[in-house]
Chain A
Amino acid sequence: MRKVKILYVDDEAINLMLFQANLEKKYHVLTAENAFTGLQYIAEDKYIKIVVTDMKMPVMNGMEFIRKARLIAPEIAYFILTGFEICDEIQEALSQGIIRRYFRKPFNIQEISREIEDTIAEFSDGCDEKNAN
Chain B
Amino acid sequence: MKNLKFEHRITVLYLILGLIWILFSDKVLGIIFWDINSLTRLQTLKGFFYVIITAIFFYFFISKHLTKLRNTESELEKHKNNLVELIQEKTKNLDEAIEALSNTNSKLNEKNKIINKKNAELKKTLKVLKETQFQLIQIEKMASLGILTAGISHEINNPLNFILGGLTGLQDYIRDENIRDEKVELYLNSIKTGIERATSIMTGLNQMSRASENYREPCDLHAIINNSLLITKGELKGSIEIKKHFSDTPIIIPGNVGKLHQVFINLIVNAYHAVEEKGSITITTGITNNNAVITITDTGCGISKDKLSKITDPFFTTKEPGKGTGLGLSITYNIIQAHKGTIKFQSTIKKGTSVTIILPAKFK
Contact = CB atoms under 8 A, between A and B. Distances in A.
Interface in B210-233: 210
A15 B166 CA distance: 9
Interface string A18-50: 110110000000000000000000000000000
A85 B258 CA distance: 11
A84 B165 contact: no
Given A56-B154, A83-B154, A106 B160 contact: yes
Interface residues of B, number: 22
Interface string A62-101: 0000000000000000000001110000000000000000
Given A19-B165, A22-B168, A84-B150, A106 B157 contact: yes
Contacts of B207: 85
B157 to A, nearest CB: 4
B131 interface: no
A107 interface: yes
A107 B83 CA distance: 111
A15 B157 contact: no
Interface in B276-310: none
B165 to A, nearest CB: 3
A105 B161 contact: yes
Given A18-B165, A18-B166, A22-B165, A85 B158 contact: no
Contacts, number: 60
A22 B161 contact: no
A106 B198 CA distance: 10
Given A15-B158, A18-B162, A108-B164, A83 B199 contact: no
Contacts of B163: 106
B203 interface: yes
Interface of B: 150, 153-155, 157-158, 160-166, 168-169, 172, 195, 199, 203, 206-207, 210
Given A21-B169, A84-B153, 17 more contacts: A14-B162, A18-B161, A18-B168, A18-B169, A21-B165, A22-B169, A56-B154, A85-B203, A104-B203, A105-B160, A106-B160, A106-B161, A106-B165, A106-B195, A108-B164, A108-B168, A110-B168
